[in-house]
A and B are shown apart, each in its own frame.
Chain A
Amino acid sequence: MNDPTKKDGIGSAIVVSAPLVVIVAALLVLLIGPGAGAALAQDTIGGWDTRNGIPLSEPATNDSATSPDETLTTDPASADPSSEPTDNMTADDSSEDMFGEAGGDPGGLEGMVLDWFKTIMGFVYDSTVGDLIKKVAEALQAGILGLPAPSGEVASIYEGMVGAMRPVILVGILVTALLMMLRTSNYDIAYAGFSALPRFIGLGIAFAFLPQFMEILSKMTLDVSDAFLPSSDRAAIAGAELFKSAVTNMLGAGFLNIILAIAFTLVGFGVVLVAVLKNILFQLLFIAGPFALASSVIPGVNHLAASWFRAVLACAAIPVLWSLELGIGSVIVSSPEAIFGDMVDVLGAWSDGIFTSVGAILVLYVMYKTPFKVLEWAFESYDSSRGAWRGLARGVAVGLATGGIRSGARALAGAATGGAGGAAAGAASRAGASNSAAQGAAIGAGTSRAGLGQGKTIRQITGQRRFSAPAGETGAARSPRSSPSGGPQPELGGGGGQQRALPAASPEIERKYLKQEGTTPGFGKPRRDRQGYIKGAKVRGDR
């Protein structure tokens, strides 16, 4: 498209249809020429650029009425001198127009029509792609690096939620009083009675000061992201430079640039979208705060409070991480040679500064993925890498496949040894001894997450495991599944016994131990029964 013969081809075509062109041009010039030209130049090209400090096109080249001094009214901070290398690659340079054609007035009617053609195309560009880019840039500058403090209607909703959930404190205090009155010897109830009162007081304090906490968190997020982004004007510099350099570089020539422009626009909108979703999530978490805080004192659901708090922290961490990524992005677009070296212009005329553009796209893609990864940490079991339906289908398929294979293997083993029931009964009798060391280790290992932990358990149950136990010990509660393959751990006792191979366990044993493996994630007191198992294991191991 940079071929200068293109211009000649258009000119010859116009000369061939000279009478028609003359009539049309005369009408345009006489009737709507001056007014429309001034309007287009003033309202579209250069106007927004000056306001936002992102000179996508040079006002002086499109608007003769604009004095050169007006370009100097742009904020000096946005006129980052580091952007100078990218200016050389922009399509709206003074020597080239946005279509990559050489400048210079050919003169006469041909030149006039060509100027009009370029003006109209510029207007079309600014009304479509330019407007799109402007909106994305404004969204970047509008504060994706911030975290809006809850206020107004959201605060009113929060007050209503607190009013609904606050009596939980009184319910809890009354239940605690009843428990203390019973003075039971049950460890769990006694523990709850002793530890509950401070928790209820803390819950009341949390209800009272959660709005202030959220406000402080928002301010801290702004301050930290401001400190991390290496610029005084934050997104106004980094975001603007990203869009200015990366996008205008793409508009020069080549099909590859069109693809890059589309990818850049898509990823940019993705970033804006997740930024909005992040703000919505933060407000939702604030409103749901009373429920989450109340769940922290209810046994069995207190892990919800932990997830809620991690999600709040994640909302605060996202802008901070974005500020870091935008800082890297601003370096990529302002001085790409610092990262890419001489590769920046490796494709030359095909794509000016392709590494700058690709780098900007990658930075935006990382920004797009960041919230999902942070929220994955917050909600733990939430996996952003695949959809819920896909995960469900995969789980069902894997479960069916492994179940079928296991059933087939068990049937074969039963046929070989004279019946699967006999084999399972033998496993139960041999494994059912009183090796509490193995049981304690099994419970310790059972604290892993459900999917992985159960998978391991199934393999451990059905696999050929070896364990050692004191000779002659046969009981009713030994677990065979979690003994280490090389025998039990020395500190858990039972070492030095004979090694025996275990056949596949029966479905009853599988169900029994899978049921025992149920865990309660989140905050909670240490379970005395687990400690008891471990302690008993140590005692038996010492014997």
Chain B
Amino acid sequence: MIEAVHASLSNAPIPIVILQVGGYGPWGTVINILRGLLIAAGGLGLVLGMAVKGAAAGSADRQELGNRLMEGAIVGLFVGLLGEAIYNLIVGWTS
């Protein structure tokens, strides 16, 4: 199962392939999957948020929904991408 996922990720489009850096030992596959999910969800959230806001017209509820979608996408991407830098910092402490 894990090998199949890893193989499919290896043949994935360019963004996921670029993210496949090693050095995580047995956690490498999990980290790759999570990063793929994070980027995909972030991009989807941004696109959906913009689409909802565009179609909201004068509806305040839909405007709010679009805001929440985009806000969540940006926060998630920010934390996820910043986590890489935090992790590298921690690696510097422990090695």
Contact A178 B37 (CB under 8 A): yes
Contact A168 B93 (CB under 8 A): no
Contact A183 B94 (CB under 8 A): no
Contact B93 A178 (CB under 8 A): no
Contact A174 B31 (CB under 8 A): yes
Q: A84-92, A197-205, A362-370: which lies at the B interface?
A: A197-205
In Å, the complex CA distance between A170 and B86 comes to 8
Q: 1/0 per residue B71-95: CB within 8 Å of A?
A: 1110111111001101101110111
Question: How many interface residues does B have (CB within 8 Å)?
Answer: 34
Q: 1/0 per residue B3-36: CB within 8 Å of A?
A: 0000000000000000000001111101100110
Q: Inside 8 A of A182's CB, which chain B residues have their CB? A: 72, 76
Q: A110-118, A158-166, A352-360: which lies at the B interface?
A: A158-166
User: Contacts A171-B30, A174-B31, A177-B79: A166 and B91 contacting too (C-beta < 8 A)?
Assistant: yes
User: How far apart are A193's CB and chain B's nearest CB, in angstroms?
Assistant: 9
Q: Inside 8 A of B34's CB, which chain A residues have their CB? A: 171, 174-175, 178
Contact of B25 among A164, A174, A201, A207 (CB under 8 A): A164
Q: Inside 8 A of B73's CB, which chain A residues have their CB? A: 181
Contact A204 B90 (CB under 8 A): yes
Could you tell me the dominant secondary structure of chain A's interface residues? helix
User: How far apart are A210's CB and chain B's nearest CB, in angstroms?
Assistant: 9
Contact B72 A177 (CB under 8 A): no
Question: How many interface residues does A have (CB within 8 Å)?
Answer: 26
In Å, the complex CA distance between A201 and B91 comes to 11
Q: Inside 8 A of B35's CB, which chain A residues have their CB? A: 174
Q: Inside 8 A of B66's CB, which chain A residues have their CB? A: none
Contact of A173 among B41, B68, B75, B86 (CB under 8 A): B86
Could you tell me the dominant secondary structure of chain B's interface residues? helix
What is the count of residue pairs linking A and B with beta-carbon distances less than 8 angstroms? 93
In Å, the complex CA distance between A382 and B76 comes to 43
Judged by a CB distance under 8 angstroms, whether A351 is at the interface is: no
Q: 1/0 per residue A167-196: CB within 8 Å of B?
A: 111110111111011110000000000000
Contact B76 A181 (CB under 8 A): yes
In Å, the complex CA distance between A171 and B75 comes to 17
User: How far apart are A293's CB and chain B's nearest CB, in angstroms?
Assistant: 11
Contact of A208 among B25, B72, B83, B93 (CB under 8 A): B93
Contact B93 A181 (CB under 8 A): no
In Å, the complex CA distance between A180 and B76 comes to 6
Contact A167 B45 (CB under 8 A): no
Contact A173 B94 (CB under 8 A): no
Q: Inside 8 A of B37's CB, which chain A residues have their CB? A: 178
Q: 1/0 per residue B47-77: CB within 8 Å of A?
A: 0000000000000000000001001110111
User: How far apart are A465's CB and chain B's nearest CB, in angstroms?
Assistant: 49
Contact A207 B90 (CB under 8 A): yes
Q: Inside 8 A of B91's CB, which chain A residues have their CB? A: 166
Contact A208 B38 (CB under 8 A): no
In Å, the complex CA distance between A180 and B74 comes to 10
Contact A178 B94 (CB under 8 A): no
User: Contacts A177-B80, A178-B80: A170 and B94 contacting too (C-beta < 8 A)?
Assistant: no
Among A429-479, those with CB < 8 Å from B are none
Q: Inside 8 A of A173's CB, which chain B residues have their CB? A: 79-80, 83, 86-87
Q: Inside 8 A of A207's CB, which chain B residues have their CB? A: 90, 93-94
Q: Inside 8 A of B30's CB, which chain A residues have their CB? A: 171
In Å, the complex CA distance between A208 and B95 comes to 8
Contact B31 A181 (CB under 8 A): no
Q: Inside 8 A of A167's CB, which chain B residues have their CB? A: 24-25, 27-28, 31, 87
Q: Taking each of B28, B42, B73, B86, which has the highest tally of chain A beta carbons within 10 Å of its own beta carbon?
A: B86
Contact of B45 among A168, A181, A200 (CB under 8 A): A181
User: How far apart are B29's CB and chain A's nearest CB, in angstroms?
Assistant: 11
Contact B38 A178 (CB under 8 A): yes
Q: Inside 8 A of B89's CB, which chain A residues have their CB? A: 204
In Å, the complex CA distance between A162 and B28 comes to 15
> What are 7 contact pairs spanning A and B, CB under 8 A?
A162-B94, A167-B31, A173-B86, A174-B31, A174-B83, A177-B75, A177-B78
B: residues with CB less than 8 A from A are 24-28, 30-31, 34-35, 37-38, 41-42, 45, 68, 71-73, 75-80, 83-84, 86-87, 89-91, 93-95
What are the 9 A-B residue pairs with the smallest beta carbon separation, nearest first?
Answer: A181-B76, A173-B83, A204-B90, A177-B80, A167-B27, A208-B93, A174-B34, A177-B79, A167-B24
A: residues with CB less than 8 A from B are 162-164, 166-171, 173-178, 180-183, 197, 200-201, 204-205, 207-208
Contacts A173-B80, A174-B35, A178-B34 known; 10 new A-B pairs at CB < 8 A:
A163-B25, A167-B27, A169-B86, A170-B31, A171-B27, A174-B31, A174-B34, A181-B38, A183-B68, A204-B89
